Amino acid sequence: MSEDKQEKKGSSSAAAATQHAEETLIAVRKEKATKIRGRGENPFANDVTSGEPLVDLAAARARFDGAKNAAGRYDAEKVAPEPLRISGRVLFLRQMGGVSFVRLRDRTGELQLYCDEAVLGEAYARLHEEIDLGDIIEASGTAMATQKGELSVKATSFRLLTKAYRPLPTKTSFKDVEARYRMRYVDLVANREVATVFRARTFIISALRRFFDGKGFLEVETPTMHTIIGGAAARPFKTHHNTLDMELFMRIAPELYLKRLVVGGFERVYEIARCYRNEGLSTRHNPEFTMLEYYQAYATYETLMDQTEAMLRAVDEALAAAVPEEHASWAKARTWSFERFVRVPMAKAIENALARSGLPPEVATRVADDDAPIKAWAKAAKEKKREIDWANFRSGMKKCDSEGERVFCAYEYLAEPFLTADYRTDDGSKSLPVFIIDYPFEVSPLARKKDGNEALVDRFELFVDGRELCNAFSELNDPEDQDARFRAQVEKKAKGAEETMDYDADYVRALEYGMPPTAGFGMGVDRLTMLLTGAASIRDVILFPLLRPEASGS
């Protein structure tokens, strides 16, 4: 038998043994549930509202903050024996003679249950006979501190609320990434830091809402099913409405509907919008994701750059206040800083990148030519430690139909990959956020052309730690210009381009009623969460990311 076959056979045997062991444990736990039912009790109880109110574990701890010493331990003499009724999932259970220690966790934190056989009597035996790790129990008792200074509840009674048939994995055993994403409900229990990241996501969204609500913005909801493709350049998901017999597209962005509201007089609007793009999977892309988009009348893209800096700092400060210990850990590991932001026109970014790469200006215009000295350019760039993807750069440039598209292609390959290296703090220790501004109008079909230079638009994208975080621009409000841009998109689609917009006649009609000078902004909430918490993959900040169907027999 080959080594590969032996390895596969061994792996299959190990999996079968693991599954058998788990099935045995499940059977044992079900027998315990049957025993509890036989005693007239429900192992899946629902009468938790009767009796004294349940106290959150964090709230129980907070009552005795004054009883802590300098080392953070609790002084037994200062912990008053207040009555407490608590509940939570059993994470740890240890017996020491006639005393058992049970670690409980609820949504707010953890607390120890101190179980004394002399106090519980016959019920004490049931603690070890019927309660398993992962079970959810409630207990009544009084507050106390152990000899080691651990705040505890000395139980006078306890009961099972929910029997967990499946055993919880240990933190060390539950490391398979796909299994963690697929069974997030287990991941949140087994890997506590995962739950912290998702709480942080909630705090981030709350902070965004506070920021915009405080500036007079109105939060709105717009359609998630559209009759045409618009608001961004991306491939959509399709669906079908049976009654109307209509093909619909899941929205790729809420932009055009939000700007309709600006026309209607809602001059400051925002939406935290679920969006869908039929694209590949990567550490930065999930087909279903969350965007913040907002639109502000009587503002320009420069207004929004200032506001973006203030917003990001405010959200980060709110996160630090919400989870100070975790935030301190994330901040310490950051390779970037909000110390200051850099603003660089795209043409200047290309110019700077060419100079740092030891390359002549002609690279951006000649790379697609058959006689271009790419080998010599690659050698020169390599000497400057700049690894440029010359093959795709050349291929991409050949597909460009306009000067603006060629400028953007040059930026993508020559400048964008090196933003973290080129723009750094004064001491060079961390990268700085970079606003790339003034894009070619050909790659910005919804943005307003610059006064005095119609080859460019008033647009920026912000890159932090080398990742695009947000996109914004002064909005195009000239209906005739918008009509021409839509028609150009339709022509590109006719030539085979997939990521293009449709012609939106109703939106052009809305502009004909008059939209005031407006600036608009879009940002991925998932990417912001990744940035602030140090998550490596977008799947680490989406509770249930899209996965392939689970293999049969799993």
Map 297-338 to HEC letters. ECCCHHHHHHHHHHHHHHHHHHHHHHCHHHHHHHHHHCCECC
Q: What is the DSSP letter of 537?
A: S
- 342-345 and 434-440: which strand pairing? parallel
Close Cβ partners of 96 (under 8 Å, ≥ 6 residues apart): none
Mark 226-264 as b/e (b = at least 16 C-beta within 10 Å). Answer: bebbbbbbbebeeeeeeeeeeebbbbbbbbbbbbbbbbe
Residue 266 tokens read as 């809602």
Q: What is the DSSP letter of 214?
A: T
Residue with the two structure tokens 């788990």:
22
Shortest CA distance to 457 belongs to which of 437, 483, 471, 477? 437
Tell me if 285 sits within 8 A of 279, measured CB to CB.
Answer: yes
Residue with the two structure tokens 């398993």:
132
Contacts 24+ apart (CB under 8 A), 323-329: 323/196, 323/199, 323/200, 323/203, 326/193, 326/196, 326/200, 326/533
Q: Which residues are annotated as a binding site?
A: 461, 468
C-alpha torsion 314→318→319→324, nearest 10: 130
Helical pair 346-356 and 403-410, crossing angle rounded to 10 deg: 50
d(CA 456, CA 438): 6
Q: Which residues are annotated as a binding site for Mg(2+)?
A: 461, 468
- 218-219 and 238-241: which strand pairing? unpaired
d(CA 235, CA 499): 5
Tell me if 203 sits within 8 A of 319, measured CB to CB.
Answer: yes
d(CA 448, CA 435): 18
Helical pair 479-494 and 505-512, crossing angle rounded to 10 deg: 170
Close Cβ partners of 185 (under 8 Å, ≥ 6 residues apart): none
Shortest CA distance to 490 belongs to which of 507, 504, 509? 504
